[in-house]
Structure 1
Amino acid sequence: MSSTPTDRGDATLVIGAGPAGLATARALAARGLPYDHVERHEGVGGIWDIDAPGSPMYEAAHFISSRTLSGFPGFPMAEDLPDYPDHRQVLAYLRDFAAAYRLAEQVETGRSVSAVERDGDGYLVTLGGGEQRRYAAVVCCSGAQWTPRMPEVPAAFTGEVRHSKEYRDLDQLRGRRVLVIGGGNSACDIAVDAARAAERAVISMRRGYWFIPKHVFGVPSDVFAARGPHLPKRIEQAVFGFVLNKLYGRPERLGLPKPDHRVFETHPVLNSNLFLALQHGDVVPRPGIADMAGTTVTFTDGSTEDVDLVIAATGYRHTIPYAEGLFTGEEHPDLYLTAFSREHEGLFGIGFTETNSGAYGHFDGLAQLVAAHLADRRDDPAAYARFRSMVRHERPDLSGGIRFDDSPRHAGYVDADALTAFRREVMGRMSWRAEHGTPAPAPAAVPA
Structure 2
Amino acid sequence: MSEKTVCVIGAGPAGLSAARALKRLGIDYDHYERHSDVGGIWDLDNPGTPMYESAHFISSRKTSGFFDFPMPESFPDYPGNRQILAYTRSFAAAYGLRAAIRFGTAVTDVEQDGRAWLVTLDDSTVHRYGAVICATGVTWSPRTPQHPGEFAGEIRHSSTYRSPLEFRGRRVLIVGLGNSGADIACDAAANAQAALVSIRRGYHLIPKHIFGIPSDELANGGPQIPLWLERPFFRGILRLIQGDLTKYGLPKPDHKLFESHPLLNSQLIHYLQHGDVAIRPDIAALEGSRVRFTDGSTEEVDLILYATGYDWSIPYAQRYFHWDEGRPDLYLSVFNREHHNLFGLGYIEINSSAYTLFDHISNIVAQYLHDQRHNRSRAAEFDRLIATDRPRLDGGIDFLASARHRAYVDARAYHRYLGTLRKRMDWDDLTPGRFDAIRSSGEVRA
| Residue in structure 1 matched with residue 408 of structure 2 by the alignment | 413
User: Matched residue of 1:111: which SS?
Assistant: coil
SS in 1 for 2:327: coil
Q: Tell me the CA shift for residue 444 of structure 1.
A: 4.8
Deviations 1:170-202 (A, max 9, x none): 122111110001010110111111111111100
Aligned position for 2:249? 255
The count of aligned residue pairs is: 442
Q: Please give the secondary structure, in 2, of the residue aligned with 1:147.
A: coil
In structure 1, the residue corresponding to 2:53 is in which secondary structure?
coil
CA distance in 2 between partners of 1:391 and 1:358 (Å) = 25
Please state if 1:104 is matched with 2:104. Answer: no
- Supply the distance in 1 between the matched residues of 2:212 and 2:306 (Cα, whole angstroms): 33
List per-residue Cα deviations over 1:297-349 (Å, max 9, x = no partner): 11122221110100000011111111110111131111100110000110111
1:318 aligns with 2:315: no
Alignment of 1:129-278 (within 5 A): 129-278=123-272
Contact 1:19–1:45 at 8 Å: present in 2 too?
A: yes
After superposition, the C-alpha distances for 1:118-168 in whole angstroms (9 at most, x for unaligned) are 111111111112111110000000001111111113342222111110100
Whole-angstrom CA distance in 2 between matches of 1:120 and 1:90: 40
Displaced runs of 4 or more, over 2 A: 440-448
Cα distance in 2 between the residues matched to 1:149 and 1:396: 30
The code of the aligned residue for 2:56 comes to H
Structure 2 residue aligned with 1:288 = 282
Residues 7-56 of structure 1 deviation map (CA, whole Å, 9 limit, x = unaligned) = 33310000000000000000000000000000000000000001111111
Paired amino acid for 1:409: R
Equivalent residue, structure 2, for 1:126: 120
Aligned partner of 1:367 in structure 2 is 362
Match of 2:398 in 1: 403
Shift in Å, 1:440: 6.7
Shift of 1:446: 4.2
| Aligned mates of 1:403, 1:419 — CA distance in 2 | 15
Is the contact made by 2:24 and 2:438 (CA closer than 8 Å) also made in structure 1? no
Cα pair distance change 1:92/1:134, threshold 3 Å: same
Query: Does residue 439 of structure 2 align to residue 438 of structure 1?
Result: no
Q: Which segments of 5 or more consecutive residues in structure 2 lack a partner in the other structure?
A: none
What amino acid is aligned across from residue 84 of structure 1 in structure 2?
Answer: Y
Given residue 154 of structure 2, which amino acid in structure 1 is its aligned partner?
E
Contact 2:148 2:284 in 1 (8 A): no
Q: 1:226 to 1:447 in 2, by over 3 A?
A: closer
- Aligned partner letter, 2:133: V
Instruction: Tell me by how many angstroms 1:238 deviates.
Output: 2.2
- Note the residue ranges of structure 1 that are not aligned, 5 or more in a row: 1-6
RMSD: 1.3
TM-score normalized by the length of structure 2: 0.97
1:342 is matched with 337
- What does residue 11 of structure 2 align with? 17
Q: SS of 1:115's equivalent?
A: strand
Return closer, same or farther for 1:441/1:11 CA change in 2, 3 Å cut-off: closer
Task: Return the match for 2:349 from 329, 334, 354.
Answer: 354
> Distance between the aligned counterparts of 1:440 and 1:275, measured in 2?
48
Match of residue 419 from structure 2: 424
Q: Find the residue that maps to 1:386 and give its secondary structure.
A: helix
Label 1:117 to 1:250 Cα distance change in 2 as closer, same or farther (>3 A): farther
State the match for 1:90 in structure 2: 84
- The letter of the residue matching 1:438 is F
Contact 2:204 2:257 in 1 (8 A): yes
Q: TM-score, normalised by structure 1?
A: 0.96
Q: In the alignment, residue 439 of structure 1 is paired with which amino acid?
A: D
CA distance in 2, matches of 1:443, 1:108: 21
Quick check: 238-247 or 31-40, which moved more?
238-247
Q: Which residue of 1 aligns with 2:26?
A: 32
User: Contact 2:96/2:440 (CA < 8 Å) preserved in 1?
Assistant: no
- Aligned-partner Cα distance in 2 for 1:417–1:442: 29
Q: What's the counterpart of residue 4 of structure 1?
A: none
Q: Percent of aligned positions with the same letter in both sequences?
A: 51
How far has the Cα of 1:414 moved from its partner? 0.5
Paired AA for residue 147 in structure 1: S
Give the letter for the 2:373 counterpart.
Answer: R
- Whether the aligned pair in 2 keeps the contact of 1:100 and 1:440 (CA below 8 Å) is no
